[in-house]
Amino acid sequence: MLVQCAKNGKKAVLVDTEGGLSIERVKQIAGDDFEKLAENIIVLEPTTFKEQNEALQKIETSLKKGVDNIDLVVLDSAVALYRLKDGGQTEINRELGKQMGLLSRLARKYDIAVIITNHIYSLFDEEDVIEPVGGTILKYWSKIIVELEKNDNGDRFAVLKKHKSCQEGAKVKFKIINRGLK
């Protein structure tokens, strides 16, 4: 998504909370255009939940000033640093809710795409039930939810779990290839 946005001449911002960005993978997807496209990809790497909040505020400031031609913001992962934060659960949830509200406002006000990745967990008493870390906060703020699945054969699927105008449960098979997804 970062590379495709950059190919369209727009800026893409990745807030990488886990240090998971592989420059080699970006180079592989971008091909010969890497140097040119890299100029349109901004990477922020917060190491605390507070820094994650500051990174999101920095994006808001850039959009307000109109200094960057930002068309995409990716928060990967919304809850990695949230899970490490000290303090009461109510306060931490309030902070996460504020961050999600900020991203929602930016998406609407500046007509940009905002993508959030999240960790999940299975309930102990119901193994088939998968819940997002952060619970209802992320479910509430997310307008579209796509769950990625991998079956026993190694096939990967993107399943639509929430959408205001499309049928939930729609599923598409995909493969990860050298140049991205197929």
Is it the case that residue 41 has pLDDT exceeding 80?
yes
Could you read off the pLDDT of 62-120 as tens digits, one per residue? Answer: 999 987 789 999 999 898 887 766 667 788 889 999 999 999 999 999 999 999 998 87
Closest CA to 140 of 103, 170, 165: 103
At residue 68, the pLDDT reads 75
Domain 2-142, architecture per CATH: 3-Layer(aba) Sandwich (3.40)
- Predicted model pTM: 0.89
At residue 86, the pLDDT reads 64
Neighbouring residues of 103: CB distance < 8 A, sequence distance ≥ 6: 56, 73, 75, 114, 116, 141
**Every domain range in the chain assigned CATH 3.40.50.300:** 2-142
